Amino acid sequence: LDVVVTLIASRPSFALVDHDGNPVTEHHFRGKFVLVFFGFTHCAMVCPRALERLSAVLSDLGPDAERFTPLYISVDPDRDSPEVMKAFLQSRAPAFTGLTGTQEKVEDAKRAFRVFAQRRATPDAPDGYTVPHTAITYLLSPDGRFLTHFGDAVPAPTVVARLRSILNDADLSGRSHDG
């Protein structure tokens, strides 16, 4: 896992469409810390659990949650249109912005984050397939640098503590630069 993560681009880039239909790249999200999770709206277990956990993390951060932009990037763009993403997130995880795009652009985004996701025939699933995927949350700095990641098993309070520590470090280094 750590080998995979070290291969992530130092500044992951993407060119996708947000859940309101606007074209966006990584530059659009500069200025805030960015939490990135990949998944698909038909996901039965991994995504609902991860989105619930990350929503709890943001809730626990209180006002500091404003310093983060949480993104949910689809690995199933054939089904996950912007409209589908928006409706799904409004009911599941309203803090998140959903991103989707063409198959090619989604493949580019997956490559930038070294995300694995591949369609698998699953007869009893909707439309006969699922898309098993990497369940890692990535954290980017406000200037778009990959900072760290959180595995799916890291408890929400641990994620909150690490994010608070990163915010404190950023505030301290910001002050020393000002001085």
Q: Which residues 6+ apart lie within 8 Å of 2 measured at CB?
A: none
Report the C-alpha gap between 70 and 29 in whole angstroms.
10
Alpha helices in 1-81 (DSSP H): 2-6, 46-61
Report the C-alpha gap between 31 and 124 in whole angstroms.
43
Residue nearest to Ni ion (CB): 43
Among positions 17, 34, 47, 71, the unique one binding Ni ion when judged by CB under 5 A: 47
In residues, how long is the chain?
179
Report the C-alpha gap between 6 and 148 in whole angstroms.
10
The one segment of 37-45, 87-95, 114-122, 159-167 that binds Ni ion by CB under 5 A:
37-45
Among positions 14, 33, 39, 163, the unique one binding Ni ion when judged by CB under 5 A: 39
Among positions 43, 84, 115, 163, the unique one binding Ni ion when judged by CB under 5 A: 43
The one segment of 20-28, 47-55, 122-130, 147-155 that binds Ni ion by CB under 5 A:
47-55
Q: How many CB atoms lie within 10 A of CB 47?
A: 24
Which DSSP category does 117 fall into? B
- The least CB distance from residue 76 to Ni ion, in Å, is 9
- Report if residue 89 touches Ni ion, rule: CB under 5 A: no
Q: Residues interacting with Ni ion, by CB under 5 A?
A: 39, 43, 46-47
